[in-house]
Chains A and B, each alone.
Chain A
Amino acid sequence: MSRSTQILRYIIRRLFQAVPIVLAIIVLNFFLLNMAEGDAVDVLAGEAGSATPEYMAELRAKFGLDQPLPVQLLVYLKNIISLDLGYSFRHDMPVSVLIVDRFWPTLLLMVSTIILAVLFGILLGLLAAINLNTWKDAVISVFALITYATPLFWVGLMMIVVFSINLRWFPTSGMENIAAFYEGFDRFVDITHHLVLPTITLSLFYLALYTRLMRASMLEQYGQDYVVTARAKGLPERRITFGHVLRNALLPVVTMAGVQVGALIGGSVIVESVFAWPGLGMLAFESLFARDLNLLLGIFLISSVLVVVVNLIVDVIYCFLDPRIEVS
């Protein structure tokens, strides 16, 4: 069997493995919905101000809320699979529409964060490993230790104090200057300008993580036999580092970038609510205050599915990158 069919089979098998996880997450979501005090009818009645018990019973029958739990669960599963995530009574809109609207700003923030964190993490980890036990290594390690221990929301607020309020370099909040009606390239520049502080804030934690990982990974590779061979045949240290060690040390960092996506989503709730970045995290923050449970559960579901999908993609990229990985 050729390697490409092997990889294809592997992808299909991984897809089937992901199905039960997604199903379990949907069921979990359903039970969380039922754990909450009051149901959708209570919310509606509360919105309307007053409702008679008869009217509420009628509404419950209409939404199927008088059915036994297993029946409700089946209906819920059917709805989710047909991409119906329920209705947000606060926004007066289907949850799925709201989520699609707010998805792109979050994706923009996350992609720029991953690029920044991975690039600088690799660079700093490499620098620390090459200059092992010198002052450069010490400075980088202390920096990583401190950023690893700093709460994201606090970094964000301090960034605002220094760079927005005092230096006036960057705007304090939002994604673009809506009142300016920028178009084309001007709009791109405006959004980039707004993107700088949230991206730096969100990437700091992961930067620390990747720096430490890269440093450890480089040191591990330096101890391998092939490095001894390369030294024995007289290769200069630069060639060994950049031609051999670096390539092999990169693999665990790539995997880690995928594994951390769940944490990145959690971080973006914090960062978006600090900078009023109009993405899914900000939407989650707003739904917390509005007690809009349907919306919050929808965001939770979508972000969980996103993690499953990203892990799948990383696994596939990984087996293209490293031919040694068993796929059959």
Chain B
Amino acid sequence: MNRFWGRFSKNKSAVFGLIILFLVILMAVIANWIYPDDPFRLAGKPMSSPGTNGFLLGSDTLGRDVAAGIAHGAKTSILIGLLATIAAVFIGIIFGALAGYYGGVIDDALMRVTEIFQTIPSFVFAILLVAIMKPSIEIIVIAITVVSWPAVARLVRGEFMSLKNREFVQACHTLGMNDSRIMMREILPNCLSPVIVIGSLMVATAILIESGLAFLGLGDPNIMSWGFQIGAGRTMLRSAWWVCTFPGIAILITVLAINLVGEGLNDAFNPRLRERN
């Protein structure tokens, strides 16, 4: 663990990403204290430019505080990103583990299903799922999960296929361990590092999908999000550029930070890969 941290902390951009990510999470946590009021509430004079009328980042046509929206939107993005990723990793591990461990017909059947989900244009599919059911935070998480799990399934399948014939697994068989225990307690811990890397990068993708859905008007109408702010602000792009600009910068910084951390994790888990370049 210490060696791992030592390798990670040598990578300057990864540490930079971690600091930014920490600040975004901090903003999400303290959003309720610094902006205790509902971010949808009319907070003052509409269309105030940044720095005027007590608005740090300006207000929109309805007089909503852009900065308050960004602080509360951070909660939404982080929450949806994490929940969808955890669910997708869970499903992907189950599919990948079963397919890779048993092989044969089970592998064929499960991989066919995975292939179909990988063929479908994922963002259009997410739009369709949210449009058919009602836009709520649960449905958005489900939609992002449904389009994200196949990548994990493929990865885990490959790892299981290469690990299942190793000596330590054969030893488990001789000891009379049952399959589920071998899969979950013996093989899975050995392929966690690539799963953690792909999972961290998936949080970034999930945040991008969520903001895209909210921008198209498919967000939860009761919850403030960055994509919603940009979608609501686009009609007055001409007169109030700040309403769209700042939430977009928030998305950019957050996604960038997560990507940097993900790459840092990857390099720290595979030190030889890094030296080669």
Contact = CB atoms under 8 A, between A and B. Distances in A.
A157 B22 CA distance: 28
Contact of B123 (A149, A223, A263, A296): A263
A308 B216 CA distance: 26
Given A145-B256, A146-B252, A151-B208, A308 B244 contact: no
B112 interface: yes
Contact of A303 (B124, B218, B255): B124
A286 to B, nearest CB: 11
A204 to B, nearest CB: 12
A36 B259 CA distance: 36
B276 A223 contact: yes
A219 interface: yes
Interface residues of A, number: 47
Given A266-B124, A267-B123, A154 B251 contact: yes
Using C-beta atoms within 8 Å of the partner chain, give the interface range for chain B. 35 or more
A300 B125 contact: yes
B121 A151 contact: no
A269 B217 CA distance: 13
B79 to A, nearest CB: 18
A150 B244 CA distance: 13
A165 B238 contact: yes
A288 B123 CA distance: 14
B133 interface: yes
Nearest to A148: B259
A154 B115 contact: no
A148 B201 CA distance: 12
B124 A284 contact: yes
B248 A299 contact: no
A232 interface: no
Contact of A21 (B115, B241, B244): B115
B120 interface: yes
A293 interface: yes
A245 interface: no
A115 to B, nearest CB: 20
A120 interface: no
Contacts of B244: 154, 157-158, 161
A185 interface: no
A203 interface: no
Contacts of B127: 269, 284, 288, 296
A146 B256 CA distance: 7
A289 B217 contact: yes
Given A145-B256, A151-B230, A263-B121, 9 more contacts: A151-B212, A151-B227, A158-B248, A269-B127, A270-B123, A288-B218, A296-B127, A300-B128, A304-B120
5 nearest A-B pairs in the assembled complex, by CB-CB distance: A266-B123, A154-B248, A149-B256, A149-B255, A262-B121
